[in-house]
Structures are given as C-alpha cells and as structure tokens.
Structure 1
Amino acid sequence: MNKTLIVTNDFPPRQGGIQTFVHNMALRLPADRLVVYASTWRDGSEVRKFDAEQPFEVVRDRTTMLLPTPRVTRRAAELLRAHGCSSVWFGAAAPLGLMAPTLRRAGAERIVGMTHGHEAAWAQLPGSRQLLRRIGAGTDTLTYLGEYTRSRIAAAVGPQAAARMVQVPPGVDERTFHPASGGDAVRARLGLTDRPVVVCVSRLVRRKGQDTLIRSWPSVLRRFPDAVLLIVGGGPYRADLEKLAAETGVASSVVFTGPVPWEELAAHYGAGDVYAMPCRTRRGGLDVEGLGIVYLEASATGLPVVAGDSGGAPDAVREGETGYVVPGRDRGELAERLVELLGDESLRARMGAAGRRWVEEAWRWDLLAERLEGLL
C-alpha cells in the first residue's frame, strides 16, 4: 500500500458509526503507511490520550468540524508532502472530497472517498448533487455501503465516476460478536431468564423505529404474555418511548438499559432471542438508514433479525434466510414476524446460524480492509 493520508472529520474519541468505521479500517492497515489528519473534539485531554495510543500518527486540526476550506485544504496538502504520502483516503467523501484536485496537484496519485448514508441524501438535492459530481470527478474511487447507497450516489456522480465505485462497507468483528458473548449473564442480571426476549440495540432516535416496536408489543404479548422487549442504547427519543410504553400499557414488559459500555454490547445482543429494529425513512428521504450494521452484529451473535425497509437496511439481511425485512411503519407485519420467530425455536436457530456464516464469509473486518488496501 502507498503511504496514505487519511483526511477525516469522523474519528474517535468522537463517537458515531462513521468514526467507528474509519478507525477500524485504519487499525487493519499497515500502521507505518498511515497518517491521519482529523478534527479535534470537545475534550482535548481525551483526544491527546486517544491519539497517543494509536499505532499511526494522528494530526489534529484546531477546529472541531473539518471542512474543505482553503486553510484546511492547504494544511492537508502540506501534510501530504511532508509525510511523503502518495494516496489520500477521505473518511467521508462529502464534503471533504472537494479537496481532491488540490491534493492531486500536491502529489496524490490515488484518491479514495468513502461514502455513507448522508451522501445518498445529498444525491437528492440539486445543489449537493453538483458537489457530489465534482467529488466523483476528482477521486479515483468512491466506495459504497450497499446497493441502495450505490444506486443513488451513482445517479448523482455521473457514469464515469459510477463505473469506478467499489463496495467497501463497515465490517463486523466476529471474535467479539458471537453466540457465546455472555447473553445469559445479562438476562440473569436483568431478571429475564426463561422469558422470550426481543432485543433492539441502537441509538434512540425516531428513524430507528423503537416506537413501532412498542406499538406492536400488545400483539406479541397476546401470544407470549411473558415476553420482554429489551431496548438497549441511549438517545434523545428515550423519554418519548417511555411515555409511549406507559400509554400503550406495556411498560412492565419493556426494559430500557440506557447506553452500555462497548465491552458489554455483544452480550446485550446475546440476551435476545430475536433482534428487531424496524427503521423507516423520514424527511422525504433525507433521514435514511445507510446500511444498518446492527443487523450484521446481531447475525454474528447468532440471532435472527427483523429489519425495517429504510434505505440500505435490506442490504444487511438475506430475506427469509437470516431474517425478515418489514415496512418500517407496519406494526401489524412486524408483530407477525416477531410472533413467528418467538414461536419457532428451530427457525430461530437456522436463521441465526445462516447469519453467522454470512458474516464470516463476507463481512469480516479483515476481508474488507484488504479490499480498501488494494484501492489505496
């Protein structure tokens, strides 16, 4: 791999899906061939501690939001030359990929831009579509998460850039997420032993569909009166969800854990019999699921999954094999699938095993990092 400058606004200790994606990929590439140029974060001491622990050099900009301004672009070009980098990897193509022509003139021979869910939203607006076209023209390769994001971004960047797109989605650490991850201990701690459990591990925001789960729960309870809905994660929607559970009359069978430490996340997946997150698209397609790595983490843990039909979420499910995709707002169909899975242990086992195999074959971090390394 050429020595590579990673230019990213999304890097830990700031938390989020893109941050986790970029960091995990970076850790699996040759450390002596990487330099990271990233924004800073709210707690400078935490950033310094994190950076010191990395196997590669991290250079922080003074701003908390890295944008393709003239100053930031000049700084990126200076770092490219100073460290002898001949490749550039934009952690998120939009908007940082607008720096590509300047970095090309500074000596970059290969430029790769990663796209995520927000670029698919950009593709729907005339002004941002034009910016995406410029980014596509300036890079050698744009990566995509799945067929949903590919189709929308390809329509915006034009046929030449679209022909150079390559799938590089986030991966799953199959050594962390596995069927023996500690779910029994979580069940015992929460008092859920010997009860059917549907688990949803996700940030609590409207798009994720935890409210649809709660609204569907009375139908599940009619078939399985002792069933529990385990909602794992934090977010601004929690108070509304708790109120909804009370109004729906199911509060006693809905358990909110709040945020859990990363090292306990896999065990919380494992505490469920079924994983469900009925995500839905909002705001006219601007608030959409890019992929839904949670479904793959649940599959790696050996659970059947029920996904919503928002954006790229269906790309993370093999319909009828590793789980089901339902309309994100259809609580009736959601309840039917949950009841079907809770009532059929052999079906759960088959789907869970199929999901585990799929992750091992196609979604491991090391396989995907090899693909990115080839592009660079």
Structure 2
Amino acid sequence: MRTLVVTNDFPPRQGGIQTFVAALLARRPPDSLVVLASRSPGWEEYDAALPYPVVRRPTGMLLPTPATARAATDLARRHGCDTAFFGAAAPLGLLAPALRAAGVGHLVGATHGHETGWVALPGARQLMRRIAGGLDVLTHISEYTRQRLAPALGGATRLAQLSPGVDVELFTPDADGTAVRRRYGLGDAPVVVCVSRLVRRKGQDVLVAGWPRVLARHPGARLLLVGGGPLEGGLRRAVAAAGLEDSVVLTGAVRPEELPEHYAAGDVFAMPCRTRRGGLDVEGLGMVYLEAAASGRPVVAGTSGGAPETVREGVTGHVVADPRSPDGVAATVNHLLDDPDRARAMGAAGRAWVEQRWSWSSIAATFATLLDPAQR
C-alpha cells in the first residue's frame, strides 16, 4: 500500500498541523509514502534528509487548483498510490474526485479544530459537506470537534478520531528545569507555568487577574508565562499595574526545543482556556495539557472545546468550571499548591495516562488502521 500525502502544512514551516503531519509520516514505512506540499524557507535542506520523496509545488500556499490536481494525479499514477491522505481536509479534500478518477481507491482527510468554526457558517458548512462527501474517512481530534462536525456533515462520510500525539521521549518527568529557574530568578519557589501563545482564548489574562489571590495563600509563588503573542503587551501592563513584577515572569517566544525544560520548571501547569466569539474561537483539544502531563505535572484546564478531554478530573488535574473567573482559577491553583504530594501524584498519573492513550506510538497505530481500506 502506498499513500499520497497532499498537504499545505508541512515542515520546515512551523505550526501544530505541520508537526502533526510530520509525526504521523515519521512512523510510516518510508517506501509507502510520497508527499505533495507547498514551499517554505529551508525546504530543500529539510526534504533532502527525509527517507521518502517530497514534491513541492512552486507556491507558499497549496490550494485545490487545476494545477495542483494535475500534480497530485500525476504523482498518484507514477507511484502507484492506492490511498491518499489530506493533512488538512479543508480545502485540499476538494481534490478527492480527481484522485479517485486517477485510481486512488481510499481517501482520508484530517480536521484539526478550526473546521468547527467553518460548519457554523452556511457557505463554509456546504463546502465542508462537499469535501466530506468525497472522502472515505474524515478524522477529528476530539469528541468535542466530532459533536460539532457530525450534524453539519449529515452522514456524508465516516468520522474517526485521530488526535495529535505526544513525544513521550521529549516531554518527560526527567527533563531538567533548573536552568530555566535560574534564568528567571525563580529559585526554589513553587511555580505555576503556562505554555501557550498569548491570546485571550488561552486565559493568561485570567491567571494574572487571579494571581494576587494565589499570593495571599502562597506568598512565595511564581507565575511563569511561556510564549509570545498579541496579548503580551497588555499582560505586561496588567502585571505592572497590579505590582506583580516580582512574582510574574513573561518569557516571550521560546524555541520548540526549549519547551520541555520550561514545563519542568513548573510545579503546576495552568491554562484556563475559554471559548470566545460565539463559539468561533475555541480550543480543539489542547496539546499543551498533554505535554505537561507527560512531563509529570498536574494540569489546570479550562472548559473550551476539547480541553476537558485532556484531563482526568481529580486524577491528572482539574477543569475549572468557570475559566473566566479569577477567583475560580486561583482557587483551583491554590488547591494544588496546598498539597504538593497530591499534586505530584496527579503528575505521575498524568504521565502514565499519556503513555497509554496519547503517545505517538498509539496514535500511529490508529493512523495505520484508518489508511487500510479493509477497515472501511
């Protein structure tokens, strides 16, 4: 079985979907793959190190144009591809009829969370239904996204869960956060860490607003906000206005390879995400919770979208009932800081759960099953 992978989202361009697609392919037999992708800076060097062929269209954005359709069908014929996988089904899944006409018998497309916003809009909903109708399987990353997609698609295709996985060799309790603690002057203080882009949905603003309530109970605690984004300026102003400069640290953007040590610098992970804009701005799943759990940290999550699915309530962490409430968020954080032994036990339980359910080896096995036409 050989699979043609058609994707705009592919390294060396960075992003969650790019990481997802590359990690799936890294766990497939190299001689079973051929990739059609767009170009991004550094693509020649990146492709030269891969064990499977990659063909790059001369564009920074791969769209379902006639030229892309010709390139895809040509590759499918030349390499004898009997399956195809769309790294993001919308909109490249529109190429499915052309590939089926070229002899590709089994087509799978992935969704990643933003499609739940698409199906809330009449025109985009019709497009998603058309895309789904051309596929044998459409994947979703969480039960939340399935519940949003299924009614809009009206049974146009089979839905199956294919979530991103966690690199349990990279995100591990053995990671050393000492250098990060030293860099930001955290010392031996209890540290609450949040790793994410700084945007309102993620809830860093609520963490800052509730932080005085944490300090009232744990005067030596520190809040480490890891990441950059459009909310950074506003957060820095809020920290200064509240006189929290000595206890709240904003790191700015951090390189991906440095993230494990930043998780390790924390005792508790917290990101009280909330849904915004009438459901259009929502957390599809929340990989940072799983990375934190793999790192052996208890997690505090919000209620947005699929985020609660990343937490075993009371076992690996807690979901805050009202992530917009500084009091509620602070109380949940305090609950974990109050009992370090229990927090560590939750972290250990989270690590075990991620190894069992969310590791890339488990996700890769699911992917292999979905690519198999016999599993239809």
- TM class by shorter chain equals over 0.9
Alignment equivalent of 1:315, drawn from 306, 309, 315: 309
Q: Per-residue CA shift, 1:237-265, capped at 9, x if unaligned?
A: 21121111112221221111222222221
* Alignment partner of 1:159 is 2:134: no
Q: 2:54 is paired with a residue of what secondary structure? A: strand
Aligned to 2:224: 230
Q: Aligned-pair distance for 1:29? A: 0.8
Aligned to 1:173: 167
Aligned to 1:33: 32
> What pairs with 1:167-246 in structure 2 (closer than 5 Å)?
167-246=161-240
Residues in 1 aligned to 2:93 and 2:275: alpha-carbon distance in whole angstroms = 26
Q: For 2:67, give the aligned amino acid.
A: R
Residues in 2 aligned to 1:98 and 1:250: alpha-carbon distance in whole angstroms = 51
Q: Aligned-pair distance for 1:305? A: 0.3
2:168–2:355 CA contact under 8 A, matched in 1? yes
Q: Which moved more, 1:284-293 or 1:259-268?
A: 259-268
Note the aligned Cα RMSD (angstroms).
Answer: 1.2
Alignment equivalent of 1:355, drawn from 325, 334, 350: 350
Aligned to 1:78: 74
2:196–2:227 CA contact under 8 A, matched in 1? yes
Q: 1:255 is paired with a residue of what secondary structure? A: strand
Q: Aligned-pair distance for 1:217? A: 0.6
Residues in 1 aligned to 2:224 and 2:202: alpha-carbon distance in whole angstroms = 14
Q: Aligned-pair distance for 1:276? A: 0.5
Aligned to 2:325: 330
Aligned to 1:124: 120
Q: Aligned-pair distance for 1:324? A: 1.0
* Alignment partner of 1:142 is 2:138: yes
Q: Per-residue CA shift, 1:97-129, capped at 9, x if unaligned?
A: 111111111111110101111111111111111
Aligned to 2:98: 102
Q: For 1:119, give the aligned amino acid.
A: E
Residues in 1 aligned to 2:307 and 2:358: alpha-carbon distance in whole angstroms = 15
* Alignment partner of 1:87 is 2:70: no
Q: Aligned-pair distance for 1:88? A: 0.5
Alignment equivalent of 2:44, drawn from 48, 53, 57: 48
Structure 1: where are the runs of 5+ without partners?
none
Residues in 1 aligned to 2:304 and 2:332: alpha-carbon distance in whole angstroms = 17
Q: Which moved more, 1:223-232 or 1:320-329?
A: 320-329
Aligned to 2:18: 19
Structure 2: where are the runs of 5+ without partners?
372-376
Q: Aligned-pair distance for 1:155? A: 1.2
Residues in 1 aligned to 2:49 and 2:271: alpha-carbon distance in whole angstroms = 34
Q: Per-residue CA shift, 1:173-224, capped at 9, x if unaligned?
A: 1111111101233223322121010000111122211111111111111111
Q: For 2:278, give the aligned amino acid.
A: G
Q: 2:246 is paired with a residue of what secondary structure? A: helix
Q: Which moved more, 1:210-219 or 1:249-258?
A: 249-258
Residues in 2 aligned to 1:160 and 1:61: alpha-carbon distance in whole angstroms = 30
Q: Aligned-pair distance for 1:140? A: 0.7
Q: Per-residue CA shift, 1:335-375, capped at 9, x if unaligned?
A: 00001101111220121111111101111101111111121
Q: Aligned-pair distance for 1:285? A: 1.2
* Alignment partner of 1:68 is 2:67: no
Residues in 2 aligned to 1:93 and 1:319: alpha-carbon distance in whole angstroms = 32
* Alignment partner of 1:253 is 2:244: no
Alignment equivalent of 1:266, drawn from 260, 269, 278: 260
2:129–2:156 CA contact under 8 A, matched in 1? no
Q: Aligned-pair distance for 1:160? A: 4.8
TM-score (norm 2): 0.96
Deviating 4+ runs (over 6 angstroms): none
Equivalent pairs, count = 370
Aligned to 2:374: none
Q: Which moved more, 1:199-208 or 1:267-276?
A: 199-208
Q: Aligned-pair distance for 1:10? A: 0.7
Residues in 2 aligned to 1:252 and 1:107: alpha-carbon distance in whole angstroms = 64
Q: 1:159 is paired with a residue of what secondary structure? A: coil
Q: 1:309 is paired with a residue of what secondary structure? A: coil
Aligned to 1:282: 276
Residues in 2 aligned to 1:351 and 1:323: alpha-carbon distance in whole angstroms = 6
Q: Which moved more, 1:293-302 or 1:310-319?
A: 310-319
